[in-house]
Amino acid sequence: MIHLHHIHKSFGRLEVLRGVDLAFDRPGITAVLGPNGSGKSTLLKSILGMVLPDQGEIHFNGKPIDNLGQYRKDISYLPQIARFPENLRVRELIRMIESFRSQPSQSAELIHQFGLESVLDSQLGHLSGGTRQKVNLVLTLMYDTPVIILDEPTAGLDPVAMVKLKELIIQAREDGKILLITTHIMSLVEELADRVVFLLEGRIYFDGKPDELKQRVDEPNLEKAIANLLSGGHLTPIQPLDASSKPIKKMNGNVVQPQLKY
Ligand code: ADP
Ligand code: MG
Cα 30 to its chain centre, rounded Å, is: 8
Distance, CA 64 to ligand 1 centroid (Å)? 24
**CA dist 166 → 94, 154, 162, 170 (Å):** 22, 10, 6, 6
Ligand 1 pocket test: pick from 7, 16, 77, 200 the residue with the most ligand atoms within 8 Å of its Cβ: 16
Q: How confident is the model at residue 229 (pLDDT cuts 50, 70, 90)?
A: confident
Q: What is the mean pLDDT of residues 122-131?
A: 95
Distance, CA 15 to ligand 2 centroid (Å)? 15
- Ranges of H-type helices in 197-260: 210-217, 222-230
pTM of the model: 0.89
Q: Is the pLDDT of residue 67 over 80?
A: no
| Ligand 1 pocket, CB under 6 A | 11, 14, 16, 34, 36-42
Distance, CA 102 to ligand 2 centroid (Å)? 31
- In ligand 1, the atom with minimum distance to the C-alpha of 43 is 6
Q: Which residues surround ligand 2, an ion (CB under 5 A)?
A: 40-41, 80
Q: Radius of gyration of the chain from Cα atoms?
A: 19
pLDDT single digits (tens) 38-58: 999 999 999 999 999 999 999
Sequence-distant (6+) residues with CB within 8 A of 30 are 24, 178, 179, 180, 181, 193, 194, 195, 196, 197
Residue 208 forms beta bridges with which residues? 196
Ligand 1 pocket test: pick from 7, 9, 32, 41 the residue with the most ligand atoms within 8 Å of its Cβ: 41
129, 156 Cβ separation under 8 angstroms: yes
Say what the pLDDT of residue 235 is. Answer: 65
Distance, CA 48 to ligand 2 centroid (Å)? 14
Sequence-distant (6+) residues with CB within 8 A of 260 are 238, 239, 241
Taking the CA of 81 as reference, the closest ligand is: 2
Say what the pLDDT of residue 66 is. Answer: 79
Cα 228 to its chain centre, rounded Å, is: 22
| Spans of all domains in the chain | 2-256
We find that the CATH architecture of domain 2-256 is 3-Layer(aba) Sandwich (3.40)
Ligand 1 pocket test: pick from 11, 15, 48, 152 the residue with the most ligand atoms within 8 Å of its Cβ: 11
- Between CA 173 and CA 144 the distance in angstroms is 12
Q: What is the mean pLDDT of residues 231-250?
A: 52
Long-range Cβ contact pairs of 216-223 (< 8 A, separation 24 or more): 222/186, 222/189, 222/190, 223/186
Strands 147-151 and 178-182: parallel
Q: Whose CA is nearest to atom 20 of ligand 1?
A: 42
End-to-end CA distance of the chain: 18
